[in-house]
A = this chain, B = another copy of it.
Amino acid sequence: MNESILYSLEHAKAARASYRAGKIMPTAGIAPGIAQANMISVPQEWAWDFLLYCQRNPKPCPLLDVIEAGGYRTVLAEGADLRTDIPLYRIWRNGKLTEEIPDATRAWVEHQDLVTFLIGCSFTFEGPLQDAGIEVRHIADGCNVPMYLTNRLCRPAGRVHGQMVVSMRPVPAERVADAVQITGRYPAVHGTPVHIADPEALGITSLSHPDFGDPVRIEPGEVPVFWACGVTPQAAVMASGVPFAVTHAPGHMFITDVPDLNYHI
């Protein structure tokens, strides 16, 4: 590995340690070159439906790792603790968000059979977009990526159903084709966009009012480009009335030890 990746790996470990110690912050731009992941944990009784939901909806839910009942370790980051190493967690009860907390250890006590899914995150392809000279607006402006609930239904699996969530990045019209090709080389982290321009067709009435994250500037000549988003399982938790779930808070991801390039094809 080259020095900059080794440096980022140190940064990844240090970031996880600081979140474990209670620091709360969005993770975009942290440990550049290292993959981040979405997380959702559900009781074992719901795990089959969720695993199948991910298999059937690989664009929004590309699985990077599945941790079996009660576990909180992952092959994606040795020594990491999934109960504490994410800056902000959400607790869901009967499909409703009931709490945002910096430490989810209690959830693993309350439900000793939680199965955990780690899902690819589009932050992975943001470095390559920037390297190609395409500004990633929410990084440039220091805010969270805007995310929207769409009118697109995912393919259901058993009791689990819901709409697709997308993230949006404005891209200059003449660079949209480049953005498609660059992100297409990362199919394990959402890959190509699912929709380009025309937000109304996705059921998005106002780009200034994202359902998750922060709104971003769209400059003249820029086109909104939409990628499938790993917050989609949270929409499924809501739509399906899942009795209990733990997830990351949108934009507050699990930072792995896996170089982004491992997901490049």
Residues of A within 8 A of B (CB): 47-48, 51-52, 55-56, 63, 66, 68, 158, 184, 187, 191-192, 265
Chain B residue numbers with a CB within 8 Å of A56 are: 66
Contacting pair A158 B68 (CB below 8 A): yes
Within 8 Å by CB of A265, from B47, B63, B184, lies: B184
Chain B residue numbers with a CB within 8 Å of A192 are: 265
Known: A47-B48, A48-B48, A55-B66. 16 other contacts (CB 8 A): A48-B51, A51-B51, A51-B52, A51-B55, A52-B66, A52-B68, A55-B55, A55-B63, A56-B66, A68-B158, A184-B265, A187-B187, A187-B265, A191-B265, A192-B265, A265-B265
Q: How distant is the Cα of A51 from the Cα of B192 in the complex, in angstroms?
A: 25
Expressed in whole angstroms, the minimum distance between the Cβ of A164 and any Cβ of chain B is 17
Expressed in whole angstroms, the minimum distance between the Cβ of A75 and any Cβ of chain B is 8
Expressed in whole angstroms, the minimum distance between the Cβ of A256 and any Cβ of chain B is 16
Expressed in whole angstroms, the minimum distance between the Cβ of A84 and any Cβ of chain B is 24
What are 5 A-B contacts with C-beta separation under 8 Å? A48-B51, A51-B51, A51-B52, A52-B68, A265-B265
Expressed in whole angstroms, the minimum distance between the Cβ of A13 and any Cβ of chain B is 24
Expressed in whole angstroms, the minimum distance between the Cβ of A213 and any Cβ of chain B is 27
Q: How distant is the Cα of A265 from the Cα of B68 in the complex, in angstroms?
A: 31
Chain B residue numbers with a CB within 8 Å of A47 are: 48
Closest to A64 in B: B55
Expressed in whole angstroms, the minimum distance between the Cβ of A195 and any Cβ of chain B is 17
Q: How distant is the Cα of A52 from the Cα of B56 in the complex, in angstroms?
A: 14
Chain B residue numbers with a CB within 8 Å of A48 are: 47-48, 51
Interface-central residue, A48, A56, A63, A68, by most chain B CB under 10 Å: A48
Chain B residue numbers with a CB within 8 Å of A158 are: 68
Chain B residue numbers with a CB within 8 Å of A55 are: 51, 55, 63, 66
Expressed in whole angstroms, the minimum distance between the Cβ of A219 and any Cβ of chain B is 30
Q: How distant is the Cα of A50 from the Cα of B56 in the complex, in angstroms?
A: 16
Chain B residue numbers with a CB within 8 Å of A66 are: 52, 55-56
Expressed in whole angstroms, the minimum distance between the Cβ of A211 and any Cβ of chain B is 28
